[in-house]
Structure formats: structure tokens, C-alpha cells
Structure 1
Amino acid sequence: MTASTAAAPASVPTGGCPFAHGAAPAPSAPNGCPVSHAAAAFDPFSDGYQQDPPEYVRWAREQEPVFYSPLLGYWVVTRYEDIKAIFRDNLTFSPSIALEKITPTGPEANAVLASYGFALNRTLVNEDEPAHMPRRRALMEPFTPEHLKHHEPLVRQLAREYVDRFIDDGRADLVDQMLWEVPLTVALHFLGVPEEDMDTLRQYSIAHTVNTWGRPKPEEQVAVAHAVGNFWQYAGQVLDKMRANPDAPGWMQYGIRMQKQLPEVVTDSYLHSMMMAGIVAAHETTANATANAMKLLLQHPSAWREICEDPGLIPNAVEECLRHNGSVAAWRRLATKDVSVGGIAIPAGSKLLIVTSSANHDERHFADADLFDIRRDNASDHLTFGYGSHQCMGKNLARMEMQVFLEEFTRRLPHMRLAEQQFSYVPNTSFRGPEHLWVEWDPTANPERRDPGARDGERAPVRIGEPTGHALTRPVVVERAEPVAEGILRLRLVAADGGTLPRWSPGAHIDVECGDTGLSRQYSLCGDPDDARAFEIAVLLEAESRGGSAWMHAHAREGARLRIRGPRNHFRLDEGAQGLVLVAGGIGITPISAMARRAQALGIPYELHYCGRRRSTMAMVDALRALHGERLHLHVGDEGGRLDLAELLRVPTPGTQVYACGPTRLLDALAARAAHWPEDSLRVEHFASTLGTLDPSQEHGFEAELKDSGLTIAVRPDQTLLQALRAANIDVQSDCEEGLCGSCEVAVVDGEIDHRDRVLTRAEREANRKMMSCCSRACGQKIVLQL
């Protein structure tokens, strides 16, 4: 365990056990490590956790990211990278307990379940290998985008009909009057289940959730058991009806047909369990997710107004809602062997509660993580759908439904607002959504009273899958534009609505769209990361401009409106470094200046070397000198002040990192001079690259096996891996497509990679665990990817 939160220092190591073992007696975890006071008090059934799980475990995320809960008997994991690593390794971290009752029931309730023949077995959620992937592959086809798009008309029709019922009332409980019943109806249609007994099914679904993830009181357990038993028997009866008509549409009928082809893979008991689990999975999570999203959007009126005015923002708004306040708060795993998580030794047989909602608020992965930002460029990195081989198969059905619901509400009730109310949740560790969501509006202001066509207006088909980052921009206004050196224009950009902008860290950049030219250019942020009002960039007018820098110098004047993407950071400063050598060449001073400012604020020893041909071409010299004094070293070429790299890097300094940005010649020279330094001491950012250029005559084709998707795709000699993935409808983000930005990174499971990017460090390339799909290729005939 890490140090107790009661008197934790500002920075707590995440490895080992700095807890004072000789201090006052404390309960111990199974590995013998003392349990801190905060860990001992952790209660996921408390109102604090139910109302806001990420906030409830903030202390853990920041100070004690892996801890043992004596109350639950589980290890609790709270950080993004730790949880993602657990999802990746489903052999060490078995999903077998995912549907196990977190609160054991008494003998009377167990007898009730037995009387109904309740025998919920393995499903796609809680099944181990080697059984899981063959079943997943066998049952996956109905979840592909090609098949899911056929359900969109039904979702739109239902959404319109249900809004019709209350649109003239001026007040509605969206949960009771729409958000439970519509996803349930869609789920039943998708599964091929009859629509009768909807109210009963709703109660069954709640009972199943409480039975598995909740803490029913002893006097409630028997009633819950009866409901679950009835649910089990109902699922079996429906399955029998389906067997009589296996050619009917529906996922369960598809499973019945697959059973004839693969009887050893798709068994009777498996179909019965999936029948019951599928109703819950396809219905309840989507209902809760949409309720959470509506609550969140109406609590942020500016975001609600923006998606009402621009429906193109809805797909990414859905992702940000799923990240910020998703319907899945946590999952569970079982350690099958002794293992270390976040530096903490966890014994074999231990149970883990992995709090995905906390991971979604981890500042290490999501900049300004608590900010609700519908333009967040990495919102779809959230872990609400899980990750890896057990990622939710129905994720794109849920996305599609949520998009349609938001389109319906924003078009027909843009003036909707939250009513005064107290929000309550069914107490459980994992699935959450408000039991009621009251909203109000003025019916006389309904758009369709002025325009009857507003109800049935044609809408473009929703995007099924992750939204593309290229379609997502943020409007900003140039507050100040001033020349700061020969050919260099410094711009201060503020939010178009006068609000705050996302926080960023040194090394981050934004992409600026150059009007209607179709061009987009990346610029490093060079202002103060603590200034939430503005982004500052410096633009060099390139002598051989491809159009971007020339457009910026001609059009980026005070008051001009621009559209940007980001910020994102693939050149992140290691704030744990013992010392820093910062080297900038020309306009490369932009990210390096922000790093120097941060190093000064943190008290990290640093020296800043700034190189330029002429002093007149070097930006921000006076400001840098005022801020950094003797730590700033100018190396001006025409003044005889060339930087002596051999001397600068002559003696490696333990714990010191070298960061550099500038022309390729400078960076290559630095790499040569730093070859005797410890591995990966040098980290660089390049200006430009030709690595995205492909010469088919010099390439060979190869296969890419997508481990999580169960697909194998062919990559032609004239095709990048990124292009092949997109052709197979696999969503991979990208930006520069020149091997510079790191946006298109994919995880490598097996196969040697021909790395051609300018992003990965030497150690990362040698580890061979990731690659840039826009430019890098397979050395051999096949690679295996974690996709």
C-alpha cells in the first residue's frame, strides 16, 4: 500500500510500501501491508460513491491508487494506466467474478433461487479463455456497424413517438417516461425478444442488478431472489419460443443458428445465460448512460446550447458524457497469480474492484479531467466500455441510441432545463444512473409549434463507432497578434464564448484550421499553462510554405475567428526528472519555453539553451531572459555563439532528461552526442517529416491480426496500416499522418515492427509493444495488434 491519506505528503511514490509499518496498529491487507485509514473507510455503497464515484475516490487516485478495502474484501484500483493494463491481461486478471454477487446472500434467498432452477453460467462478460474468444467471434456479426445501422430507423421512430407523449406537458421525468422503455424496446428487438411484460422486465432488470452488484438488506434478499428467479425462468421460456422460429431476426436467433454450426461453442446453457444477461446489458446500461448524459448536459447550459446549435458535436458529446459520467462505474477481476499492480504486490486469488469511472477522471491521461468538455479530442479513450478482449460488444448500439436521443431532444426541446430535484441511485458498485430525471420547458416555445416540420425533419444517419477527431473543432478568437521576431507572429487565442479553455501541459500542441483551404497546421503552445483563458502560439512564416504559415500570417489578425483542435500532448515533460537540459532551435523554442517555465515552478534544476542563426529571428528572448536569468544560454550563429553539443553532453548526469525541439539537423546531432547517455534520456519533437510518403515498389504486403476484434486484415504494399484499418471499419484516431504526432498509435502484441515514426523513444522501439499506424509497417508477413 502507499502512504496513508490522513497525513500524506504532496507527492507519494506509487511503488513499494512507504507506509510506516512501525506506526500505530492498523488492519492488514492479504499481502501483509497495513491498510490506511482512508482505505479502511472506503464504502462503495455510501451516498458519496453513489452520487459521484470519481470524486469519492479522488484521494486514492492522487495518493493511494491501489489499496485494500477490508469492508469489501477487494483490492481497489483507481488509475487509468493500471486499469487499462488489467483489462489487457485477461489471463492474469480473470473476468470470472464479474457477475459474482458482491454481497453474499443468506441461505433462505439461495434456497429461493434454487427453487427456480437459477443457474446463470458464463457469458461474454465473465468467461475465461480459451472458451471466450471463440464464442465472441461466433456471436459478433450482429454487432458490426453494417448490421447495427438497420436498427437506427426503429430507434428514431420510438424516440419521436415517446417525445410526442409529453412534449406539450412542459414537464417530464425522462427516466420513467422514455429512457427506460425505449432502450428496453430496442434491446428486445435487437435480441429478438417479444415486447410483452415490459414493466415486469424492468423490475427483473433492476433486481438482477441489485442481486449482483448491490447490497440488499437481509429482509430484501428473498424478494430480490424471487424476482431474479422469475427473470431466469422467463428468459428460458422466451428462448424456447425462439427455437421454434430460428430464422426470425434477432441476436438470440442468430445464436441459435450458430449453435447448429458450432454446437461445442454455442451451448444450450450458454444461450440461456446470454438471454438473461443480454436483456440487462443491452437495456439498462444504455438507459442509465442516456439519463446521465442528459443530466450532465443540462447542468452545463453552454454545452447544451452548443449541441442544439450544431448537431455535428453530438457524437463527441456522447463520448465525453460516457467519460465524465458513464453508466458503468466499476468492474471486477480475479488475480490468477501473484502480480504487481501500480507497484503493489497482490497475491494470487485476490479480488479486484477496478473503478473505471475513476480512471476516466485521471489527470495523467485526460488533461483537466474534471472539466466537462464536449470537444475533448481524446474523450473516446474512456474505459466505460472496458478495453481489450472483453470490451463491450454492444458499445456501438449504445452510441447510436444515445446520439439519436440527443438529436431528438435538441431539435424538439432545445429550451429544456433541469427541474429542482434530489437525485437518487440504486445502491451498487458498478452500474449507475439516476432513478428519476425531471425536466421542464415552456410548451409555447416548442419549435414545432412554429414549424410543424420540425418533428419529422430528415437527419443524416448517425455515425456508428467512435467519432473522428478531424470533425471536431473548437472556435476561438484572436485576442492579440503581434510580431515577436523577424517572420514570427505570436497569437493569443481565447474561447469564442468568452469562457475558459482546457488546461494543457508543456509540450502540448493545437491544430489550427487555415480557413476553407483544407489545410491544418500544428503549433506548440508557448504561453502559461496556468492561464485558463487563452492559448498562445508562435507562427513562423516558412520560406517554402506549403500554404499554412502564409495563411496564418495573412489572416490571423485581432478579432479573427479560427477553429482549432486539441490540445493534445505527445511530447510530455517528465516532472519526476532530477534535472533538465532544454535545447531549442529556432521556432522550436515554443514547447521548450513552456517546459522551462514548468521546471522553474516545480523547482527542478534546469538549463535552457536557445539556438538561432541571427538574434533578430529569435522569438521571446527578452521575456525568457527576464524569467530564467542565468539559466538561459543564447547561442546565436552570426555572433559566433554556436552550441557545443559535445561539451554539453560530454558527461551523462544521472536522473537528468534532455528535451529538444528544432530542425532535423540539430536533433540528429543531439541524438549522436547523447548516444552514451542512459537509455531514453533524450526526448525530441520534430518539425516536419516525409515518413508518411509510401513507395509501393519498395514495400511488401502483410497481415494484421486484430486480437480483440477477431479479424485479420490484409495491408497492401500501396496502403498504410491506418488506411487498411479504416477500410475494415476499425476506428483509429490520426492527425498529421506523417509519423510526427503519435495520434495513430496502436498496441502491438506480436510481430517485429519496421518503426518509421519520429515519436517513439529508443526503448519503446526495442520493446516492440506499440507502433504508429500511419507510417510504420511489419518487418515480416504478419503482426498481431491489440485492436
Structure 2
Amino acid sequence: MTKTQQQTQQIPSGCPMHGAAPSGCPVTQMAEAFDAFEGPYQLDPAEALRWSRDQLPIFYSPKLGYWVVSRYEDIKAVFRDGILFSPRNVLEKITPATPEAMEVLKGYGYAMNRTMVNEDEPAHMERRRALMDHFIPANLEKHQEMVRRLTREKMDAFINEGRVDLVDAMLYEVPLNVALHFLGVPEDEIAVLRTFSVAHSVNTWGKPTDDQQVAIAHDVGQFWAYAGKIIEKMKQEPEGTGWMHETIRKNAEMPDVVTDSYVHSMMMAIIVAAHETTSLASANMFKTLLSNREAWDDICADPSLIPNAVEECLRYAGSIVAWRRQTTAPARVGDVDLPEGAKLLIVQASGNQDERHFEDGDKFDIYRDNAIDHLTFGYGSHQCMGKNIGRMEMRIFLEEMTRRLPHLRLAEQAFTYLPNTSFRGPDHVWVEWDPALNPENEHPELAHDQLYFPVGAPSRRDIARKVRVAQVRQEAEGIVGLTLEDAKGRPLPRWSAGAHVELVLDGYDRKYSLCGRADASGYDLAILREDAGRGGSRYIHDHVRDGMELRLRGPSNLFRLDEEAPAHVLIAGGIGITPIIAMADRLKALGKPYAIHYCGRSRATMALLCRLEADHGDHLHVHSKDDGSRADLAAIVAALPEGGQIYCCGPERMITALEDLTADKPEGTFHFEHFSAHDTGLDPEKEHSFEVELKDSGMTLQVAADQTVLDAILAAGIDVASDCCEGLCGSCEVTVLEGDIDHRDMVLTRGERAENRRMMTCCSRAKNGGRIKLAL
């Protein structure tokens, strides 16, 4: 934690870390008041923890008895290490059972054991590997038609009504029927299963009163008995289809891996997990989209936006709010030391709106090009196996509803939610429409139209918003400036210093840093004409004019400024000034010490120089070759204050020189961004095929000579974020456990490459066709 945080700690004697560390225990008045069962957290968990993300990202909650983790990177780090941060407490009752409730459960023979979500290694991965086949994207494709048929049947029943509760009319029963079909479970007791499902959720993640605990215990006990009866029935059908039939067969084939107690416990857990989260997420999706009418209308006009809209709904209003972990040894998360046995509530809903990872993260934006990075499905070895079933259902729901009822609107209502720490979705979503305006009244064929979306994560290539060129200007010799505005006059997303956007025009996709003032209504870019380049900049210079419409992805930030550093030195070479000037603007606004060194061929070719001199004159050092001025990089590095950081964007030779000069400095001193990439395209004639073992997923993949590691991983149904696919951005980074890497990226430092612990899967490969092992 920072010194400021240490100084503001209030350390109650009840804190488990009281007196255990020099820095004390991270409990402030806000932390002490935090209540996971009522108040702001139940209304909006992400907003309720904004103070935590900004001030104290890991804190101890005395009321809950858990450490709460609220920032994206910290949550991801916990998910990544399933051994140090055990899932053993995931299904532990967060409110301890009363003796009376325990007696009730005992009467039913209740013996819930470990399931895939709460068991440790090596048992977890052995079982996951044995039971994963049904969840591979290629094997899920066959279920799409059933989902569509069930959806249409429900819609046909209410489409002429004009008012309906989407949850009762469709969003509960369809996911439950899909789940039962996928599992191979009889579909004849939906109402009973709904009661059992709610009871299981409240029993595990809620805070029932003592009297409620007894009633819930009866429901949970009956659920346990019901699950046992289903198993016995299914055992009489050795040729039965569905995942639970496969689990029962694996129980017979490998009883030490898929045990009897596991089959019974998994039956009960999976009936809930396979549909409840999708039902809640779908209800959240329609509430969110209909509350953001422009987004709904955009989807109606362009259904290709549906996959990413679903992903953004999962990020902004996912059904899985928080998950739990427990430390198996002393651990460090962020800047906080945790003891062995510490219980963690990792709040994905908060991480999903963390602006350190998502630009303008608290805003809903269906054009967000990194929405797939959300943590709603978890991350790492315990990532939700059913994620692609949920995606498939939500896409079909949204496609059918936007096509057949584009005039749908939310009815006036008060939304209610089941109080608990971990799952969130409205009990009801009442909607209204005028049946006389139904498009299929005049075009009956619309009821039978359909689109096809491949099972799996969406492609960012399908995501782009329309913008208009508000102004084209000459920034310097060979450099054109553009100001872009939303094509429909809407506010563009906010962005942070170092962010970039990607212009999509006439077959060219090119990334450019944002260089305007952050409070401006439009986006400013400065683009160097590169006649020896690949044609994108030439096209912009020759063809882009005022008033033109373009498509744009982003903003995204992969060159973030550490605003906590005591001092900053900003170094730009040529057009590399674009992210640097935004950093200077931010540091000036914060009142932080900074210096700018701007190197160029001549003042006439140096973009944004006039603004730099006007806004940052006292901090600016111009090094123009024509003026005989040359930046003394060695002297600049030598003068760096203690704890200071250097940020550089420029040509490769400048970055290489600074890497050499900062080699002995503390880690994190030097940050850089290239403004061009090497040719990272594959030449199959020169490449080797090789094997990649994915440790956390229990898979071994063959990477062909004409295939990237990233492509092979995505084809296996493992989600890995990616952006540039040129080795420039670092989005597709994974941890290397074994093997030698042929590093071809422009992200890792020389020292990081030598450590051989990380690789960019879009371009780097195994050396000489060797075998590598990754933490995925």
C-alpha cells in the first residue's frame, strides 16, 4: 500500500492482521462500514467499491470476515494462481448454518462434497480434463438450433401480448431447458428445480435468518435427494446422451478420478450453475440495453454488433458479481501481505469497471474493443467451462428480440434482486411494446430469419463505431492532423494518457495515439505520411477530407502512465510525440514534476510543437537535428531523480539505447512504445510446427507451421485477449512455464526476454520447433 494509505489506517483490534505487519491492517472507516448483504453493494457492487479501487484495492471487511479485492489486475492475479489461492471455500456457506438447519440437512443425508469449482489440484485438473470434451466450441455448435427453437416458441406465445415479464416468459425456462438437455437430465419438473435453485443460492451465498435457514435447509435437502434419484435413473440408461451421462460413464471407467460422491455433488451444483447464471445474465442484458436506448437501436440496425454487445453486457452487468478464494500460505496481493488461511472475496463486478484496464470503464459501450477481457467467467484453470453455452444463448435471445421486437421498451417498475454476495440479476424484467407495430405483421418472413455466430469469443475485427472527420489540418511537414467526432453526435468515450485508437478505412486498419486534450469533445490524431510503409498513412493523407465517415476501434491503452511515480521524464522521437504530449497534459493537470525531451529532424517536421511550447514551455527540451541539438540520452538517464520513471515513444534505435542506459535501474523505470512493427507475418516455408502444453487447461496442442500460438489456443476454446496481432501491444501475453521462446514481439525488454517467463502468442514461437508449456 502507499505511504498515504498507511498513514490513514485505522486498525481495529478485531482485525486478523492487527500488529502482524509494520504497515498495520488495511481497514479504514469505509472498509469497516462495508456490508455485502445490504446497502450500496446490493444496489450496484461496482459503484459501491469505486472508493476501494481508487484508494484501497485490498481491504479487510470485519462484518464479512473476508479480504475484499476490487482491482482488475489483483483479481486476475488471484485467479491465475489456483494453488496459493485455493478455491476450497467457493461453496462454503458464507453465513454459517445454525444447529437446527444442520439437523435438517442431516435428515436428508446431505453430503455435498467437492465439485469442479471448489476443489484443489491435482484432483481438479484430472477431472476437468476427463470431462471437458462436451464444452469444446466445435461440440457446442449442434445445440444452437435447439436454443433458437426454444426461444422462438416462447416468443411466439407472447409476441402479440404487448406486455410481458421476460424472466418468467423466457429467460428462466429456456436456459433451464437448455441446461437439462445438455446434461441429459429429464425436463419434467422445472418449477421444482426453480425452488431448489434459489434455495441453493441463498444457502451458499446469502444471509438468511435463523428461521429462514431451516426452511431453506429443507429445500436444499430435497434438492440433494432429487439429484440422487436422477442419477439412479440415468444409470439405467447406459447409452444416454448428455454431459451427466458422460460423467456417470467416467465414474465407471475411472472411479478414482470421477468418484461416486463427486457425481452426486456435481449433479446438484451443475443444475444450478448451468442455467442460473445464464438466466440472470440475460435478464441483466435486456435491462441494460433497454436502459441504453442508443445501444439497443444500434444493434437493431446492425446485428453484427450482437456478439460484442453480449460481451459488454457481461462486463458491465454480469451475473457473477464475486467469487471466493482462501490462501494456502502467506501471500501478497498488490501491496498487501495476507496470512495463511485468509479468506478472499474477489469482486469481478468491480474489476470489470476498473479504469486501469478498461478505458471509461464505468460507462456502457457496445463498441468497446476489449470487452472480452472481462472477468465474469473467471480466469485461469477454473474459468467457467460453460461460458460458451451462455454466450450462445444470450446472442440468440438478443438476435431474435431485436429483429422481431425492435420497438421493445422497459415498463415502469422497481427492480428487485435476491440478496447475496455473488450472483446478481433482476427477479423480473417487465417490457412493453405495441403489437400493431410488430415488423412481422407486414413481413412474416422476419419470424424465420436468423444469423449465425460461431460459438466462442467474438472477434474484435467485427467491432467499430462510426465517426466523422470534423477537421483535417496540416500539423507539420508530412504530418496531417485529424479531429474526429461521433457520427451521430454522441459523446465519445473518455480516454487516458497513452491511449490509442484504430482507424478502419478502405481495407486499412491502423493504430494512432490520441494526442488532443483529454477534455476535448473530439479525438485528435497526428499521422505521419510514410511512403515506404504499408499504405495506410498514404491513404489518409491522400483521401481523408472534412465530413468523411470512418470507422474506429477503441480507445485502448497499452502504454499507461504511472501517476504515482515521484517524477517523470518523457522522451519522444518524431511522431512518437503523440502519446507523450497526452502524458505531459495529464502530469501538468496533476501538478507532478516532469520533463519533455522532443527529438526531430527539423522544427518544421515536428508535430504539435507550437502547442507544446505554449502549454509545457518550462518543461520542454527540443532537440532538432537541423539546429545542431542532439539529446544526450546518457545524461538524461543519469539525471533521473530517485524513483523517477522514463516514458519513450520513438524509433527502435532510441528505445534500444535507452534500454542499455537503464539496464541497471530498478525494474519499472523504463516504459516504451514503438510506433511501428516489424513484419511479423508467418512464412510456413521457414517455420517449424511444435507442441504447446496448456497446463491449467490440461491440453496439448499442435501448432502448425502456418499457424500462430494464439490461433491454436483460440481454436481449442481458451479465451486469450488479443489486439494488434503484430507483437506491438502486449494484449496476448501469457506466462511461460517451460521451453525456449523465439521472441518476435516489440513489447518485452531485453531482460524480460532473457528471463523467458512471458511470450506474446500472436507472433512468438518455440525455438527450433521445441515443446513449450504455458500457464493457461
Q: Normalised by the size of structure 1, how large is the TM-score?
A: 0.94
User: Counterpart of 2:551?
Assistant: 563
Structure 2: distance between partners of 1:670 and 1:692: 24
Give 1:755's aligned residue: 743
Q: Report the equivalent of 2:566.
A: 578
- 1:689 Cα shift? 2.8
**For residue 641 of structure 1, what is the aligned residue in structure 2?**
629
Question: Which of 46, 60, 65 is residue 73 of structure 1 equivalent to?
Answer: 65
Q: After the TM superposition, which of the residue ranges 601-610 and 174-183 deviates more from structure 2?
A: 601-610
Structure 2 residue aligned with 1:191: 183
Partner in structure 2 of residue 657 of structure 1: 645
Q: Is the 8 A contact 2:373 2:721 kept in 1?
A: no
Matches within 5 A, 1:79-228: 79-228=71-220
* Aligned with 2:16 (options 23, 26, 29): 29
- Give the letter aligned to residue 774 of structure 2: L
Cα distance in 2 between the residues matched to 1:146 and 1:177: 30
User: Aligned partners of 2:661, 2:335: CA distance in 1, in Å?
Assistant: 34
1:54 paired residue among 28, 46, 57: 46
* Structure 1 residues 224 and 671: alpha-carbon distance in aligned structure 2, compared to 1, 3 A threshold: closer
Q: Deviations along 1:491-512, whole A, 9 cap, x unmatched?
A: 0011112111122222211111
Q: Does the 8 A contact of 1:31 with 1:346 survive in 2?
A: no
Partner letter of residue 733 of structure 2?
A: E
Pairs within 5 Å for 1:402-413: 402-413=394-405
1:754 CA displacement:
3.0
Rounded to whole Å, the distance in 1 between the matches of 2:709 and 2:367 is 27
What is the CA deviation profile of residues 314-356 of structure 1, one whole-angstrom value per residue up to 9, with x for unaligned ones?
Answer: 1111111111111111111121122222322222122221111
Q: 1:519 aligns with which of 491, 508, 511?
A: 508
Mapped to 2, the partners of 1:737 and 1:177 lie a distance apart of 43
Equivalenced residue count is 770
Unaligned runs of 5+ in 2: none
1:158 is paired with a residue of what secondary structure?
helix
Render the CA deviation track for 1:163-186: whole Å, top value 9, x for unaligned. 111111111111111111111111
Identify the residue that residue 339 of structure 1 maps to in structure 2: 331
Per the alignment, in what secondary structure is the counterpart of residue 308 of structure 2?
Answer: helix
- The structural deviation recorded for 1:668 is 3.0
Q: Does structure 1 conserve the Cα–Cα contact (< 8 Å) formed by 2:709 and 2:761?
A: yes
Pick one of 469, 474, 477 that aligns with 1:478: 469
Alignment CA distance shift 1:82-1:665 (3 Å): closer
3-state SS, counterpart of residue 475 of structure 2: strand
Give the distance between the partners of 1:370 and 1:12, measured in 2 at CA: 27
| TM-score normalised by L of structure 2 | 0.95
Question: Alpha-carbon deviations, 1:129-152, whole Å to 9, x = none?
Answer: 111101011111111111111111
- Are 1:681 and 2:669 an aligned pair? yes
Displacement after TM superposition at 1:287 (Å): 0.3
Alignment CA distance shift 1:389-1:676 (3 Å): closer
Decide whether the 8 Å contact of 2:137 with 2:716 is kept in 1.
no
CA distance in 1, matches of 2:519, 2:594: 20
**Aligned partners of 1:757, 1:484: CA distance in 2, in Å?**
31
Distance 1:160 1:727 in 2: 30
**Equivalent-residue separation in structure 2 for 1:333 and 1:643 (angstroms):** 51
Partners of 1:151 and 1:697 lie apart in 2 by 39
Query: 360, 382, 385: which is aligned to 1:368?
Result: 360
Label 1:362 to 1:622 Cα distance change in 2 as closer, same or farther (>3 A): same
The 5-angstrom pairing of residues 301-312 of structure 1 reads 301-312=293-304
In structure 2, C-alpha distance between the alignment counterparts of 1:367 and 1:415, rounded to whole Å: 31
- Code of the aligned partner of 1:280: V
Q: CA deviation at 1:535?
A: 1.2
Inter-partner Cα distance in structure 2 for 1:339 and 1:235? 38
- 1:643, distance to aligned residue in structure 2 (A): 2.5
After TM superposition, give the deviation of residue 371 of structure 1 in Å: 0.5
Distance, in Å, in 1 between the alignment partners of 2:41 and 2:8 is 25
1:639-693 residue CA offsets vs partner (Å, 9 max, x unmatched): 2223233433344532222222222233333334444544453322222232514
Shift of the alpha carbon at 1:104? 1.5
- Given the superposition, is the C-alpha separation of residues 718 and 452 from structure 1 closer, same or farther in structure 2, using an over 3 Å criterion? closer
How has the CA–CA distance of structure 1 residues 89 and 646 changed in structure 2, closer, same or farther, with 3 Å as cutoff? Answer: closer
Aligned equivalent of 1:8: none
For residue 576 of structure 1, report the CA deviation from its aligned partner: 1.9
The residue aligned with 1:628 is 616
| 1:528-581: CA deviation from partner (whole Å, max 9, x where unpaired) | 1233x2111111111224221111112221110001111112222221222222
Taking the aligned partners of 2:751 and 2:238, their CA distance within structure 1 comes to: 54
Which segment is superposed worse, 551-560 or 683-692?
683-692
Tell me how far apart the structure 2 counterparts of residues 126 and 724 of structure 1 sit (CA, whole Å).
29
Q: Which moved more, 1:355-364 or 1:542-551?
A: 542-551
CA distance in 2, matches of 1:311, 1:341: 41
Determine if contact 2:104/2:217 at 8 Å carries over to the other structure: yes
Deviation at 1:727, TM superposition (A): 4.6
Q: Check the 8 A contact 1:328/1:384 in 2, yes or no.
A: yes
Q: Which moved more, 1:136-145 or 1:53-62?
A: 53-62
Q: Does 1:280 pair with 2:272?
A: yes
Give the match's secondary structure for 2:275: helix
| 1:384-783 matched pairs, under 5 angstroms | 384-457=376-449, 459-515=450-506, 518-531=507-520, 533-694=521-682, 699-779=687-767, 781-783=770-772
Whole-angstrom distance in 1 between the partners of 2:81 and 2:724: 31
Residue-by-residue CA offset, 1:389-441 (whole Å, 9 max, x unaligned): 11111010001000010011101111111111111111111111111111111
Residue type at the aligned position of 2:518: P
Unaligned stretches of 5+ residues in structure 1:
3-10
Per-residue deviation at 1:731? 4.2
Summarize deviations over 1:568-597 as a string: whole Å, max 9, x none: 122222212222222222211111111111
Partners of 1:163 and 1:20 lie apart in 2 by 55
Q: Whole-Å Cα distance in 1 between the matches of residues 99 and 633 of structure 2?
A: 75
Structure 1 position 630, deviation (Å): 2.8
- 1:601-641 per-position Cα deviation (integer Å, ceiling 9, x unaligned): 12222221222222221212211110011322222222222
CA shift at 1:312, angstroms?
A: 0.8
Alignment CA distance shift 1:346-1:729 (3 Å): closer
Amino acid across the alignment from 2:283: A
Contact 2:322/2:345 (8 A) holds in 1: yes
